[in-house]
Amino acid sequence: MRKTVFALGAALVMLGGCDQIRDAVGGEPEEGAATGQATTISFNLGNGEVQIPAPEGFCVRDIDNDQTAALQAQIDVANDLVGYFERCGEEQTVEYVLVKIPRDVPTGLTKDQFLDGMEQELSSPEVQAQLDKGIEQASRNAGDVRISGNDIGYRGRDEDCIYIGGNVQVVAEDVTVSGPAATCLTAANGQAFSVSSYDHSDDPVSLDDLKARSRAVAASLTP
């Protein structure tokens, strides 16, 4: 499971994929990135296709041929991005939810088996080093984008999720973006996936609110 912990650290730094950072490193603003039409995302997970509806107030962002999504893929090579929800009506995305599938993670486990294994792994004194390693690798992948997340750590477990969260700061050129982030890691169809919620607005919601948002999005998955 250590590769999963590493992937969680990498996944949470994805404030680096926000629109402000994209613009700072030379990307072009993208009009109408949110489709305004699609209300769900669909992707292959384990032994079949699944869907997740956009949470209330959020729109589906089309990740195909999207510069912000491409920057995320460059930074986070430990996970595959399969879904992107952003707050509807934002000129630049500052509040968003990412759905990812970690690579190189064991498959075939039930949700309870997966959560029990992850909880045991996260109880290890070495876990923070693995999270930090994932963040450091993502920062190296980001080139001129500098990423830090010194207080990212294990934030508990319930019947649906293992939680990782904290505050992330990303700097590119003269642009600094920071804010809380919370990931729910869970499993369905015998495969792990993660839902990470971010808010780097001027008045962000609490980490507990983002945990609840990530949990709700993950729980809304259907075959």
- Two structure tokens written together for 188: 């369905």
Give the start-end residues of each E strand in 103-209: 146-148, 153-157, 162-172, 175-188, 191-199
- Helical pair 111-122 and 2-12, crossing angle rounded to 10 deg: 80
Q: What is the Cα–Cα distance from 65 to 43, expressed in whole angstroms?
A: 17
Domain map (residue ranges) of the chain? 2-219
Print burial letters for 201-220: b (CB count within 10 Å at least 16), e (below 16): eeebbebeebbebbbbbbbe
Q: How far is CA 6 from CA 103, 121, 223, in A?
A: 10, 11, 28
- Two structure tokens written together for 31: 């009009």
- With contact defined as beta carbons under 8 Å apart, do 121 and 2 qualify? yes
pTM attached to this predicted model: 0.84
- Confidence class for position 32, pLDDT limits 50, 70, 90: very low
Residue 58, burial from CB neighbour count under 10 angstroms (0-12, 13-18, 19+): buried
H or E stretch covering 43: strand 40-45
pLDDT for 170-219, tens place per residue? Answer: 777 777 788 899 999 999 999 999 999 999 888 999 999 999 999 999 99
SS3 98: strand
pLDDT for 44-97, tens place per residue? Answer: 999 899 999 999 999 999 998 788 777 777 777 778 999 999 999 887 788 999
